[in-house]
Amino acid sequence: MKSFFVFPALVAVASAACPDGWALFPKTNSCYRHYFEKKNYEDAKAACVAEGAALVTITSVDENEFVQVISTMDEDQRWNGQPWIGAYTDAPDGLPTSSFQWKWVDGQPWGYTNWCPENPDHNWEKCVQLLSDNCPICNQQFRMGCWNNNGCHYAHPYFVVCVIEGAFTERCGVMVPLVEDLQKKYVKSIFLRCNNFVPHYASSTAMFNASTMAKIRLMFVVSQPVLKQGSTSSILKHLELHHQKLYEKFQERKVDPVRKKRKLDAQTPSITAAFEAWRPGGTKSESINRALSLMIAVDSQPLSMVDRPGFRNFMKTVVPNYSIKSRTAIYRTEIPALYDEYVERVKRRMESVKYFSFTSDSWSSEDNKHSLLSLTAHWMAAGKLEYRILGVLPIHGRHTGENLSAILSSCLADFIGEDARKRTHLIVRDAATVMKKTTRLCGLTSVDCFAHKIQLAVYSGIKTVLNDCEYFDDVIERIKKFIRKVRKSGNDRDDFADLQKLEEVHPRWLTKGIDIRWVRFTTCTTGSSKTARLSHRS
């Protein structure tokens, strides 16, 4: 058998008490009533509205326990205490209720719940009942006071709750400390006897027996804390003899703090473990080693920075327990390990890509001691262009097509594998003969860099317009020679700065021109023109 609760609209009552036959719960400032007449869910809801009320909305543990207690009937009545409460779901017939939101009849947000095990269940059970003390299956299958969803068409008793402003404002009766707070100096209090409260149940003797009335009184809490008077031993003894469930609940509360502290202690590292983390090979030490190596690589910092006294003093201040590795250790172990890590990350990222395009170019230092060949992969992923630099590869030996093709092929095999040719769309390179031969030997389709061609076309166009290539080349060489002299000679650089200051010209740094970069070439010639005017005035 099931039953249900009601939460009604506000009822204007002049007295601070509930109407006859209703039970007051001060925490919600509401009056509750349990009806014996059996109705299905919709009829019960309509009956509640007729009373100016609504099926009960349960929003807390205390309110749930209160409703459970007042739904407990006398033993000789043998009533199945399973009242309806104001919870429901509007799930269509045949669809799982778990896919739809449960609601309260008064529109309050769905928050607190106390479902029985394996509930809510069944597609067609869209209304909710509360299982109270006299539920015949509770001790076997469900805990008392839990919620069970059931078919709305069943007829069961139901509960009504009325909200009354200021329904309970007086403090009265003899008070004892609340069970959960017996060990605190200041505790909340509960009503053991209240002359103003008992008469509201006097007219409801058919509804509640003496045991139920005692349970109800023990649940009402006064908001003001009071000081404990003497020892609590007598109270504990009384609970043990006459209120076994409350006594057991109090004993469980005494054990809980110990369990919580043990759980906290298990999660706190020991002193030994805390120091071990900072030793070489420890978790914190390795984390800082990686971050330091990453900073050197990303910011292009020299390895010698780890030996500088300022940096060491900074690290000693920030993390005193950390021991900085030497530049040799970082160079030989940390940075190679970081490189291997990112190589694997790039490989995993490229595994799912079907086709790639590449760009490649080579550079040599001014003293020709260092030569490098770059290779960058480009692809589309989720409609976006992505790229990764696969290598800046050192060139040893002569810059021949055979040598460069071996370097490129090795890099492609490391990242893509044996099917590099099949997955390569094309490679963009400069127009140098050696690069054309390199891509041909690799078996890759290649094209000239369009940007390079545009730059060279502009440079060639200027010569054609001037119609005097020898004069143009001579002027450009003079400009380049002047720039090289100023950039390399400290005395000339200082004299040039003095001229700028004398003529109140904004300080400028001369830029070298590069034939294949028209912007750099323009900057070079423009700056040279301004410098020539400056020198002439001086």
Taking only the tens place, the pLDDT of each residue in 29-64 is: 788 877 767 788 888 888 888 877 888 889 888 888
Mean pLDDT of 295-299: 91
Closest CA to 36 of 82, 86, 105: 82
Q: Which domain holds residue 30?
A: 23-163
| 176 compared with 93, residue with greater pLDDT | 93
Q: Are residues 478 and 428 in the same domain?
A: no
Band of pLDDT at residue 426, cut at 50, 70 and 90: very high
Mean pLDDT of 442-455: 87
Q: Is it the case that residue 75 has pLDDT exceeding 60?
A: no
Per-residue b/e over 320-353, b at no fewer than 16 CB within 10 Å?
Answer: eebebbeeeebeeebbeebeeeeeeeeeeebeee
In a domain, 35, yes or no: yes
Q: Is it the case that residue 432 has pLDDT exceeding 80?
A: yes
Mean pLDDT of 120-147: 70
Mean pLDDT of all residues belonging to the chain: 73
Q: What is the pLDDT of residue 386?
A: 92
Secondary element (H or E) of residue 239:
helix 233-242
- Count CB-CB contacts under 10 A for residue 225: 14
Instruction: State how far the alpha carbon of 489 is from the alpha carbons of 207, 494, 496, 497, in Å.
Output: 109, 9, 11, 12
Q: Are residues 252 and 204 in the same domain?
A: yes
Q: What is the pLDDT of residue 490?
A: 80
Q: What is the pLDDT of residue 529?
A: 59
Band of pLDDT at residue 505, cut at 50, 70 and 90: confident
Peptide bond into 309 cis (omega under 30): no
Q: What is the pLDDT of residue 196?
A: 32
User: At residue 332, what are phi and psi to the nearest 5 degrees?
Assistant: -90, -25
Q: Are residues 131 and 43 in the same domain?
A: yes
Q: Are residues 152 and 34 in the same domain?
A: yes
Per-residue b/e over 285-312, b at no fewer than 16 CB within 10 Å?
Answer: beebbeebbeebeeeeeeeebbeeeeee
> Which range (75-79, 154-158, 403-407, 415-419) has the least confidence?
75-79
Band of pLDDT at residue 178, cut at 50, 70 and 90: very low
Q: What is the pLDDT of residue 122?
A: 66
In a domain, 5, yes or no: no
Q: Is it the case that residue 439 has pLDDT exceeding 70?
A: yes
Q: Point out the domain boundary residue: 163, 191, 212.
A: 163
> Which range (51-65, 180-194, 293-307, 406-420) has the least confidence?
180-194
CATH code at 158? 3.10.100.10
Q: What is the pLDDT of residue 470?
A: 74
The total of structural domains in the chain comes to 5
Mean pLDDT of 124-145: 68
Q: Are residues 438 and 468 in the same domain?
A: no
In a domain, 15, yes or no: no
Q: What is the pLDDT of residue 34?
A: 74
Q: Is it the case that residue 481 has pLDDT exceeding 70?
A: yes
| 31 compared with 301, residue with greater pLDDT | 301
In a domain, 211, yes or no: yes
Q: What is the pLDDT of residue 370?
A: 86
- Cβ-contact 435, 404 below 8 angstroms: yes
Instruction: State how far the alpha carbon of 312 is from the alpha carbons of 154, 292, 351, in Å.
Output: 79, 12, 42
Q: Is it the case that residue 534 has pLDDT exceeding 90?
A: no
Q: Are residues 441 and 464 in the same domain?
A: no
Q: Are residues 376 and 483 in the same domain?
A: no
Q: Are residues 135 and 182 in the same domain?
A: no
Q: Are residues 49 and 155 in the same domain?
A: yes
Q: Are residues 291 and 223 in the same domain?
A: no
Taking only the tens place, the pLDDT of each residue in 183-235 is: 333 333 333 323 333 333 333 333 344 444 444 444 443 333 344 455 667 77
Q: What is the pLDDT of residue 411?
A: 92
Q: Is it the case that residue 153 has pLDDT exceeding 50?
A: yes
Per-residue b/e over 145-155, b at no fewer than 16 CB within 10 Å?
Answer: bbbbbbebebe
> Which range (239-253, 330-344, 347-361) has the least confidence?
239-253
> Which range (1-15, 397-411, 451-465) has the least confidence?
1-15
Q: What is the pLDDT of residue 410?
A: 92
Q: Is it the case that residue 147 has pLDDT exceeding 90?
A: no
In a domain, 468, yes or no: yes
Band of pLDDT at residue 150, cut at 50, 70 and 90: confident
Q: First and final CA of the chain: distance in angstroms?
A: 110
Q: What is the pLDDT of residue 172?
A: 32
Q: Are residues 159 and 27 in the same domain?
A: yes
- Cβ-contact 49, 191 below 8 angstroms: no
| 262 compared with 190, residue with greater pLDDT | 262
Q: Calculate what percentage of the chain has a pLDDT beyond 70.
A: 67
Q: Are residues 78 and 184 in the same domain?
A: no
Quick check: helix, strand or coil at residue 40? coil
In a domain, 530, yes or no: yes
**Contact partners, residue 129, CB within 8 Å, separation at least 6:** 2, 3, 4, 82, 83, 84, 85, 147, 148, 149, 150, 156
Q: What is the pLDDT of residue 50?
A: 80
| 143 compared with 210, residue with greater pLDDT | 143
Q: Is it the case that residue 149 has pLDDT exceeding 80?
A: yes
Query: What does the block give as tokens for 34?
Result: 């349990």
